[in-house]
Structure 1
Amino acid sequence: MLWAALHLPQRALDGALRRCADPHAPLALVGGPAQRRVVMLANEAARAVGVAPGQALAAAQAIHPALATQMYDAAEAHRLLALTCAWAYRYSGQVCSDGEDTVWLEVGSSLGLFGPWPRFERLLRDDLHGLGLSHTLAVAPTPLGALCLARQQDGLAVTDLTQLQRALQSLPLDLAPFPPDVREALHGMGVRKLRQLFVLPRAGLQRRFGRGMLDTMDRLTGDAPDLRTYYQPPDRFEARFEFDDEIRYSTGLLFPLKRLLGDLAAYLAGRDGGVQRFELVFEHDLHPTSTQTVGLLQPERDAARLFDLAKLTLERQAVPAPVRAFGLRATELPPFVPAGRDLFEARPASALDWPALQARLAARLGEQATHQLAPQPDPRPEHAQRRVREWRGHPAAPPLPRPAWLLPRPVPWREARHRVLAGPERIESGWWDGGDVRRDYYVVETEAGQRAWVFCPAGQHGPFLLHGWFA
């Protein structure tokens, strides 16, 4: 097996930067009591002007008055870790996390699908940059070994146990996955490198630190299996975006909407599914929580297409009150089947297929503005179809052609000269509901070459009534 360790040391800061329209502006995460806020994390732009973790907030603002600040949000950091697991599930069925700052995925079984490691690595990094996650990445035959390498240097790749054990020899003890008290005790014994730890008597280490330390060492070097609980994607997606000030116009919701739908698309790609209906959730200060529903005709997971539909819904429906927090909730997550395309398709790449066009029209005009026609088991033309939101059946071929344009009601046939192409076809039905009809239908062609569907009373030869036109 070959494990890739994704070390995410500043998830909380990444979560804050994802909420900023300008992620390159100086930003600091603060915490502590209200009387004495301190800087917990600062982005690169803030550190460049002199802001550093541990500073009092007042001192940091004195150094840079325009410094943007946000409260440290541990829940957001945990959500980003879960999102990373959901995204990694796209590339491997064996994904796990330590619940703190690392996600592992087994990549050895995926190399045949995604290519050799350098290409696979570029693919992973491109996705992580798109998610806005700072990271270091390393590969090793054991999860803990990959973590140590990722903490040491970004991009290290070791493919067998012999190389791994040799690489671990030179690593500092502080990179090892031991509790802080164990590392402190080992420092007191003069142990600074892992090579020094590996040569110590195991019996003495067990008496001093317990059997758990030896188990960790064996899992680190590959001398014992590292059994872990693998991640399973949940059956629903929920995400939330909280604002510092109330948002009064829908345009102010477009940036968080795009970010949340990007996360949803990454989650859907990980579980190889789609979304057919999701809700936009608006939280207000002085008004009950409101929602807007975005529906699709078929499962979709393209972030750009989902954003277009949600944007149209926002523009069509007014939000009832200023928004303090904005969220997205998706519970209908059916399997996703990509649309089939012909190899030599003549349709332009930017053209919309019918389901996409209908979904766009429904988002713009409302779900009741668009419909499809489904066949009914009734031979009367007026009752042979009904309007439905979506129909996936396959109609049986009629015994005779049916016109594409059926008139709302029959009108007298005014063409004196015509040619009968087919018929008569007798339709006699409806006695049970008061709509009894007895007609003989004909397909006729006019002098101008138009084809029409006409009828007359059963057993007669005229006069004709026009009921539809063929395309």
Structure 2
Amino acid sequence: MLWAAIHLPRRALDAALRRQPDPSAPLALADGPPQRRRVVQANGAALAAGVQPGQPLAAAMALCPRLSCVSFDAGQASRLLDLACAWAYRYSGQVCRDDADTLWLEVGGSLGLFGPWPRFERLLRDDLRELGLAHALAVAPTPLGALCLARQQDGLAVHDAAQLRHALGRLPLALAPFDERTRDVLAGLGVRRLRQLFALPRPGLRRRFGAGLLDVLDRLTGDAPDLRPCYQPPDVFEARFEFDEEIHYHTGLLFPLKRLLGDLCAFLVGRDGGVQRFELIYEHDLRPPSAHAVGAVAAERDPARLFELARLVIEREPIPAPVRAFGIRAADLPPFVPAGRDLFEARPAGAMDWPALQARLQARLGEDAVHQWAPHADPRPEHAQRRVRELRGRYLLPPALPRPTWLLERPIPLRGPAPRLLAGPERIESGWWDGDDLRRDYYVAQTAEGQRAWVFCAAGERGPFMLHGWFA
């Protein structure tokens, strides 16, 4: 097996930056009591202005008046790690995470699908940059080995156990996955690098530190299996965006909407699914939450399409009160089937297919405003079709004689000279069960002006004729 460790050293800061309209502006995470708040992490612009981790927040604000401050949120950072796991699931069925800042994915079985490791690594890094995650990435035959290498140097790759042991031996003890007390005791014994620890007799290590240290060493080098619970994508996606101040206009919701839908699509790609219906949830200060439903004709996972549908719903439907927090919830997650396309696409650039156009019209006008006509099992022309939102199932068999493309709302007498009958009669006798009984003989006829009409008369008669439709 071959494991890739993705270490996210500033996960909490990245979670805050992803919620900023301008991530390049100075930003710092602060924590502590209100009177003694200190900087926990800062982005590059803040560091360049002199802001440092551990610095009092008042001093940081004095150094950088444009500094934005966000409270440290461990829950938000944990949710970002869950999102990264959902994204990684698209590349491997074995994805693991710890309680700190690292996730692992088994990449040995995926190299045949995504190419050799250098190409695979580029794919991972491109996606991580798009997600806005600063990271360090390394590959090794064991999860703990890959983590130690990622902490040492970004981009290291070791493909067999012998090379791994040699590479680990050069690492300082501070990068080893031991608790602080064990590292302090080993440092007191003069152990500075892992190769010195590897050289110590195992019985002595067991007596002094117990079996736990040896178990970690064996899992680090691959002498013992490293069994970890694997990530399983949930069946429901939920994400939330909280504002510092109430939002009074829908335009203030567009940036968080775009970010949340991007996260939803990363989640969907990981589980190889789509979304057909989701909710926009608005939280208010003095009243219960409200929601709008957004639907698509077929399963979608294109963030641009989903954003357009949601934006149209937000513009059409009124929001009952100012918004304090905004979120999305998606529980209808069917399998995603890409639309079939011709090899030489003849459709003009920018043109939409029918499902996309239908979903867009429904989002703008309302779900009941757009429909299709579906065949209905009733021989009476007035009842042979019905309105549906989406065609499902099999079409009915076509009738023996053709049907007109233009059916009049109600039949009218056919004026003028007697028409020439081209086909028929086709007798339709039905409707006795609902009070709309009819008994007619239908013909395809040509009028004196050359028009082709669909006419009928009483059963067994040859006139007078009633006009019921026109053929194209």
Please name the residue that 2:444 is paired with. 443
Q: What code does the residue aligned with 1:426 have?
A: R
Shift in alpha-carbon separation, 1:179–1:403, aligned structure 2, 3 A: farther
Structure 1 unaligned segments of length 5 or more: list them: none
Please name the residue that 1:431 is paired with. 432
Deviation at 1:49, TM superposition (A): 0.4
Q: What code does the residue aligned with 2:456 have?
A: F
Task: Report if aligned partners of 2:377, 2:396 keep a CA contact under 8 Å in 1.
Answer: no
Matched residues, percent identical? 73
Task: Report if aligned partners of 1:81, 1:99 keep a CA contact under 8 Å in 2.
Answer: no
Q: What code does the residue aligned with 1:330 have?
A: A
The answer to whether 1:420 aligns with 2:391 is no
Rounded to whole Å, the distance in 2 between the matches of 1:140 and 1:28 is 34
Q: Deviations over 1:190-238 (max 9, x none)?
A: 1111111110111111111111111111111111111111110000000
Task: Report if aligned partners of 1:376, 1:383 keep a CA contact under 8 Å in 2.
Answer: yes
Query: After the TM superposition, which residues 102-251 of structure 1 pair with which residues of structure 2 at under 5 Å, given as runs?
Result: 102-251=102-251
The alignment partner of 1:167 has SS state of: helix
Please name the residue that 1:38 is paired with. 38
Deviation at 1:181, TM superposition (A): 1.4
Please name the residue that 1:321 is paired with. 321
RMSD value, Cα:
1.4
Task: Report if aligned partners of 1:136, 1:150 keep a CA contact under 8 Å in 2.
Answer: yes
Rounded to whole Å, the distance in 1 between the matches of 2:208 and 2:448 is 105
Deviation at 1:448, TM superposition (A): 6.3
Shift in alpha-carbon separation, 1:102–1:438, aligned structure 2, 3 A: same
Shift in alpha-carbon separation, 1:452–1:185, aligned structure 2, 3 A: farther
Rounded to whole Å, the distance in 2 between the matches of 1:114 and 1:450 is 62
Rounded to whole Å, the distance in 2 between the matches of 1:385 and 1:16 is 54
* TM-score, normalised via structure 1 length: 0.97
Task: Report if aligned partners of 2:28, 2:46 keep a CA contact under 8 Å in 1.
Answer: yes
Shift in alpha-carbon separation, 1:418–1:125, aligned structure 2, 3 A: farther
The alignment partner of 1:22 has SS state of: coil
Rounded to whole Å, the distance in 2 between the matches of 1:333 and 1:130 is 23
Please name the residue that 2:92 is paired with. 92
Task: Report if aligned partners of 2:376, 2:396 keep a CA contact under 8 Å in 1.
Answer: no
Shift in alpha-carbon separation, 1:149–1:391, aligned structure 2, 3 A: same
Please name the residue that 1:378 is paired with. 378
Q: Deviations over 1:237-261 (max 9, x none)?
A: 0000001111111011000000000
Rounded to whole Å, the distance in 2 between the matches of 1:278 and 1:447 is 57
Shift in alpha-carbon separation, 1:127–1:408, aligned structure 2, 3 A: same
Q: What code does the residue aligned with 1:452 have?
A: A
Q: Which consecutive segments of 4 or more residues in structure 1 shift more than 6 A? A: none
Deviation at 1:449, TM superposition (A): 5.8
Q: What code does the residue aligned with 1:422 have?
A: A
Shift in alpha-carbon separation, 1:419–1:90, aligned structure 2, 3 A: farther
The alignment partner of 2:422 has SS state of: strand
The alignment partner of 1:35 has SS state of: helix
Deviation at 1:293, TM superposition (A): 0.5
Rounded to whole Å, the distance in 2 between the matches of 1:410 and 1:297 is 35
The answer to whether 1:47 aligns with 2:47 is yes
Please name the residue that 2:410 is paired with. 409
Rounded to whole Å, the distance in 2 between the matches of 1:180 and 1:415 is 102
